[in-house]
Structure 1
Amino acid sequence: MDEVIGSLSPELDGKVIIDVTNRIDTNDPGKVLDGSSMSEHIQKKAPKAHVVKAFNYAFASRMAEPKVNGTRLDGFVAGDDESAKQKALQFVESIGFRPIDAGPLAMARSLEGMGLLNVLLQIQNNWPWQSGWKLTGPTGDKE
């Protein structure tokens, strides 16, 4: 990833990058890594780009149908650039997720943890890789 981002860095200046990756230890995928998120790492490699984190917590099967039993799943977006974050939130909503502003790019660490937890739960419980995230309670949304 470093080589790709590094070589493209000048072309990425001013562009919005939606990072959908999760930072994992390929030798031990269940291990939670300390330190920064992949999004923060990309931002350092392409400092003039506008990096936002989204979609890393949802499986591909949920991208095509981001609802479970008629309820929209939540689409969390984290980023430091407000304009880039708004574009990502609009995109999240356009494909059917309920958009939620998760705060600054540092929150990508938590979103990556959510992605890892979802994967580990699938493996541990032999689930069908169809789950997603939904906050419930008084979130202010009627869905």
Structure 2
Amino acid sequence: MSTRLAALPHRHVLTLPTLPSAVRTARQTAEQALAEWGINLRHPSVGPALLILSELVTNSVRHAAVLSPQVTVIYAAGADTLAFAVHDRHPYQPSLYASVTGTGTGPSGLATVMELTLGLGGTAVVRGDADGKGKSIWITLPL
């Protein structure tokens, strides 16, 4: 996956209230965008990608809503790459790799996110906002 995120030709941004309904809307929007971009929804990376997306939006709804009235999802894709980010305005930045190594605080959706991401040969990164009051979790998967 040598494609740089900025170079991905397809992009879509969705901002939603940080409510449980955001999970379904984010997933449906992903399916629609992928189909419009000509990405086969039966590709082996798409099902896991939708689950990862759902887990990340769920985490924002459960844990960030008190400080973040909105969650933003950024979708991007190219010929060999699928990427997305979930952004909220809660300052806590989870340790993604601790969920895989067992050094986290127990089973979590992040463990599922990381197992799926790494199992597909993808990457995950947390990027804090410049003001320290929010973050994005970026997932990049091969297509």
Q: Normalising to structure 1: TM-score of the pair? A: 0.26
Q: Normalising to structure 2: TM-score of the pair? A: 0.26
Larger Rg: 1
Structure richer in strand, relative to its length: 2
